[in-house]
Amino acid sequence: MHRTSKSKWETVNGQFLVMNSFGMKRRLASMLSAGFIICLAFAGLVDGVPENCRMQSCDRPRFDSAVQDYCIPPFSESMANTDYQLKCPWPGTKRYYVELMQCLDSVGSITCCTHASYTQHLLDIHELYFSLCSLKKDPPIVILLLLAVPCSLISLLIPLLFQHYKLYETKLPHAD
């Protein structure tokens, strides 16, 4: 059976709220603004590509030069104050990394280059500064055993429990 969603309108503290039949409340303003942005996106008025880049292609030499001149040096200076050679500097350097990504985005929008252009620069940075940051290590064997043994025991004991239940059921007299 299909359930129809009927909306109810109410105001709380001067804000219009929409409540559907599922009991979910949403601010009307946020729903309208989201719908407006979606309409603009379909119309081509809101886009992730800057206006100057709609007819131009990526200026890769200019992008690489700007990244080497304006983005990498501040990040390298910030990382010089950490002990990245001895241990993984993450998450203490997250702020510097975010600033680097913002710089890359800015240079990318000026030179009409997308995130695909960032790849080599990010690989070089990760290789140099974050080489000691490996994937999370497996837990010790004791922890693995504490997780695996109960699961294995339960898998083995369930058939025995059902077998015992069947034997117990056959021994009971049936009242018809």
Mean pLDDT of 143-158: 90
Q: How many residues does the chain have?
A: 176
Cα 32 from Cα 29, distance rounded (Å): 5
Strands (DSSP E) contained in the chain are 8-12, 15-19, 25-27
**Nearest C-alpha neighbor of 78 from the set 66, 55, 96, 92:** 96
- Domains of the chain: residue spans and CATH: 8-43 (no CATH), 56-129 (1.10.150)
**What band does 47 get if pLDDT is binned at 50, 70 and 90?**
very low
Most confident of 2-6, 59-63, 127-131, 156-160: 156-160
Whether 152 has a pLDDT exceeding 80, the answer reads yes
Q: Which of 75-89, 142-156, 161-175 has the highest mean pLDDT?
A: 142-156
How many C-alpha atoms does 6 have within 13 Å on its Cβ side?
1
User: With 60 as the cut, is the pLDDT of residue 23 above it?
Assistant: no
Q: Which of 102, 171, 162, 93 is nearest to 132 (CA)?
A: 93
